[in-house]
Amino acid sequence: MGVQDGARGRVEQVVRELVRRSGIDPLQDGAAVRELVEEAVNDYEERSLSGGLPPVEDRSALVGAVWAAVAGFGALQRFLDDPSVEEIWVNEPGKVFVARGGLPELTTTMLTAQSLADLVERMLSTSGRRVDLSSPFVDASLPDGSRLHVVIPDVTREHWAVNIRKFVVRARHLEDLVRLGSLSSQVAAFLEASVRAGLNVLVAGGTQAGKTTLLNCLAGAIDSRERIITCEEVFELQLAGRDVVAMQCRQPNLEGAGEIPLRRLVKESLRMRPSRIIVGEVRQEESLDMLLALNSGLPGMCTVHANSARDALVKMCTLPLLAGENVSSRFVVPTVASSIDLVVYIRLDPDGRRRVAEVVAVSGRVEADVVETTDVFTSRGGRLQRAAGFPPHPERYERVGIDVARLLAPREGDGAAVSGSPSDVDVPSLAGLPT
């Protein structure tokens, strides 16, 4: 054990005793714990001057380490505090990874099985959720809004698998995405106009592509006078300072009762006088309730995992079938065509950059079980460029004073670079599900 480790152990022991005596909840009152840490370090430094204790090599590092051990999340706290870290995952106690700029890296952090279990227990203590043999998976939010996912043996082979996805707020508005190079100014202006006009937008992409960030930026274009209801598995969207009600799912209790799935939230949101409904992500039968809500004249947005805009529409034609045997593709396909107006596909490139790769408009028509689509913006020559298509419902743009034809007029030199092979051939329209 090094000198600094010895100092940390002594100070940590003193702080834990002070916390116990004062009755402070470390997870609820981190500021009070930090004051105790500062006092304990001051006392240690005074005693070290007399030669009775080893000197402190780095005071700020010592304070941070002790605070993280007592009131934070131990060895993982420094990654949670690092704004460049987007995600943290632990495959086993000796293998802790982080992602920066979309690229993974193995850290030098070493944990023990017990310390990892203790950290997870501490993380879950404020969420009201649990993980045990009867419930080996858990999704929860940390106090800072990060999303925690844990899987334990015997679902995993031997070790606890922990994933912490931080919601790193680099963009709150579409203009921020333009600055970051995720899309062009023309695409941003078009998407903002489409949201203002009340079009229904589906954001598609892979894991960590930036779907939630893009959804959050799109929601930022909604008029502040509108009432927004959000439905998520765990809280990720950040729409503060507006008329917003945010709801998240709930896991069953120890008796297996009390579960509130996403489908229930979507249904309940319709009773809350929404002007807009936003669903963080559709994965299962809640997609049917989302489509029905959008088809009733209520504007909304959601995300879905998909490899392209057209794959996203295919998936939206498939997921509602999980709602029951009485739901058929004969009903779902035209409902998708009439409920979704725009699909925005964003992807994570190999270099770690996140870029909008295509914007597709849904005309609302179905021909021979095929949902007709048209490209509004597409990737050509490594850049996102204007295509020939136009969005549906031009009257909605007119109603809010927007000339969509002028907005989509070609611009010289405007385009966001997009990695990938250039193509001058449009992808054919989506083939829908057969009845």
Cα–Cα nearest to 336, from 362, 360, 300:
362
- In the prediction, which pLDDT does 382 show? 78
Mean pLDDT of 71-85: 90
419 has a pLDDT exceeding 50: no
* Residue 1 predicted with pLDDT over 70: no
CB 126 within 8 A of CB 116: no
Q: Is the pLDDT of residue 67 over 60?
A: yes
Q: What is the mean pLDDT of residues 245-267?
A: 88
pLDDT of residue 414: 60
383 forms bridges with which residues in the sheet?
Answer: 380, 417
Taking 90 as the threshold, does the pLDDT of residue 144 lie above it? no
Instruction: Tell me the domains of the chain and their CATH numbers.
Output: 3-72 (no CATH), 81-165 (3.30.450.370), 174-417 (3.40.50.300)
pTM of the model: 0.81
CA distances from 85 to 78, 100, 139, 164 (A): 10, 5, 20, 10
Amino acid at 79: F
pLDDT of residue 5: 65
- pLDDT of 4 reads 62
Mean pLDDT for 89-111 is 94
Comparing CA positions, the residue from 408, 395, 321, 386 lying closest to residue 364 is 395
Contact between 52 and 10 (Cβ < 8 Å)? no
pLDDT at 14 over 80: yes
Q: What value does the mean pLDDT take over residues 204-224?
A: 93
Report the residue count for the chain.
Answer: 435
Residue 155 DSSP symbol: T
What is the reported pLDDT for 246?
A: 94
Q: Is residue 326 scored above 80 in pLDDT?
A: yes
pLDDT above 80 for 6: no
The two counts, helices (H) then strands (E), for the chain are 14, 16
> Cα–Cα distance between 399 and 254 in angstroms, integer?
52
Closest C-alpha among 259, 256, 238, 234 to residue 247: 234
* Residue with more model confidence, 177 or 11: 177
pLDDT at site 413: 57
Instruction: Specify the pLDDT at position 415.
Output: 59
Instruction: With a cut of 60, say whether residue 154 has pLDDT above it.
Output: yes
Report the pLDDT averaged over residues 10-26.
85
Alpha-carbon gap, residue 290 to 287, rounded angstroms: 5
Residue 338 has a pLDDT of 94
Region of 108 on the Ramachandran plot (φ > 0 left; ψ -120 to 50 alpha; else beta): alpha
Q: What would the mean pLDDT of 345-366 be, rounded to a whole number?
A: 93
Q: Tell me which amino acid residue 259 is.
A: E
Mean pLDDT of 129-152: 87
pLDDT for residue 167: 74
Flag whether pLDDT at 328 surpasses 80: yes
pLDDT of residue 423: 32
Backbone angles phi, psi at 168, to 5 degrees: -80, 110
Q: Please give the Cα distance from 119 to 291 (Å, whole number).
A: 40
3-class state of residue 88 by DSSP? strand
User: For residue 103, how far is the Cα from the chain centroid?
Assistant: 17
Structure-model confidence comparison of residues 430 and 253, the more confident one: 253
DSSP β-ladder status, 370-380 and 383-386: antiparallel
Q: What is the pLDDT of residue 417?
A: 56
Q: Quick one: which of 103, 237, 101, 73 has its CA closest to 164? A: 73
pLDDT of the residue at 50: 77
Strand segments, DSSP code E, in 142-255 are 147-151, 161-165, 201-205, 228-232, 244-248
Please calculate the CA angle 112-117-118 and round it to the nearest 5 degrees. Answer: 95
> Per the structure block, which two tokens stand in for 108?
């030098």
Write down the mean pLDDT value for the chain: 87
pLDDT of residue 57: 78
d(CA 320, CA 183): 31
Quick one: pLDDT band at residue 204, thresholds 50, 70, 90? very high
**β-strand 137-141 against 147-151: which pairing, if any?**
antiparallel
